[in-house]
Amino acid sequence: MMKTAEWICTKCGVTNRKLVVPAASEVLDKCVTCHAKHRVVESPRPVRWDAAALK
């Protein structure tokens, strides 16, 4: 089963979701709306991951 990384874009505030393998704790993703690349890191909180824009 894949798990869902849900993260908030730091540029436009939209919620993004990405399916990742269960072992993943960090993933690179791109905002669906503004296409800003983010590093998304699994958070202790369920579902919602922490996102940081890549410069």
DSSP letter string, 1-55:
--EEEEEE-TTT--EEEEEE-TT-SEEEEE-TTT--EEEEE--SSSSBPEEEE--
Q: Does 4 bind Zn ion (CB under 5 A)?
A: no
Report the site for Zn ion in 10-49 (rule: CB under 5 A). 11-12, 31, 33-34
Q: Smallest distance from the beta carbon of 52 to Zn ion, in angstroms?
A: 13
Q: Does 53 bind Zn ion (CB under 5 A)?
A: no
- Residues at the contact surface with Zn ion, assessed by CB under 5 A: 9, 11-12, 31, 33-34
